[in-house]
């Protein structure tokens, strides 16, 4: 069964980040899902779809809500970039300038919510 999005405990995140920083890829899925859940919690809404393939996608950010088809704004990025942005080791503008983020739509700038706390 697929792991659902949930904000993990501080102890879990700290241990998973320590293993990740040591080169382990084992916790990437759990960390991505934790930080996506945190993003949804801190920026509730449905105007932007944030995709981190193959791990998960969420809708967040207040604004125009969509119900079918492609949302009005989409952000897609790989797991390493997302985790770097979430932790604050990479800035939004830097990631966009390096082509690490594909963002479209008027609310596709996640910089007001980054880095993520939690």
What is the pTM assigned to this prediction?
Answer: 0.89
- Average pLDDT of the segment spanning 99-106: 94
Q: Taking 80 as the threshold, does the pLDDT of residue 2 lie above it?
A: no
- In the block, tokens 């980054």 appear at 114
Radius of gyration of the chain (CA): 14
Q: What is the pLDDT of residue 72?
A: 82
Here the tokens at position 11 are 């102890």
Q: Are strands 56-60 and 48-52 parallel, antiparallel or unpaired?
A: antiparallel
- In the block, tokens 């932007």 appear at 48
Here the tokens at position 13 are 């995140």
Q: Taking 60 as the threshold, does the pLDDT of residue 71 lie above it?
A: yes
Q: 9-52, pLDDT tens digit by residue?
A: 999 999 999 999 888 888 999 999 999 999 999 999 989 999 99
């Amino acid at each position: 069964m697929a792991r659902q999005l949930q904000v993990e405990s501080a102890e879990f995140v700290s241990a998973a980040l320590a293993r990740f920083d040591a080169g382990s890829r084992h916790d990437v899925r759990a960390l991505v899902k934790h930080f996506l859940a945190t993003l949804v919690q801190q920026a509730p809404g449905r105007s932007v779809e944030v995709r981190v393939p193959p791990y998960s996608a969420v809708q967040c950010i207040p604004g125009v809500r969509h119900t079918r088809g492609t949302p009005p704004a989409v952000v897609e990025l790989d797991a390493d970039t997302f985790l770097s942005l979430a932790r604050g080791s990479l800035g939004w503008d830097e990631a966009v300038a390096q082509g690490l983020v594909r963002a479209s739509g008027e609310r596709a700038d996640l910089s007001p919510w980054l880095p993520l706390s939690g």
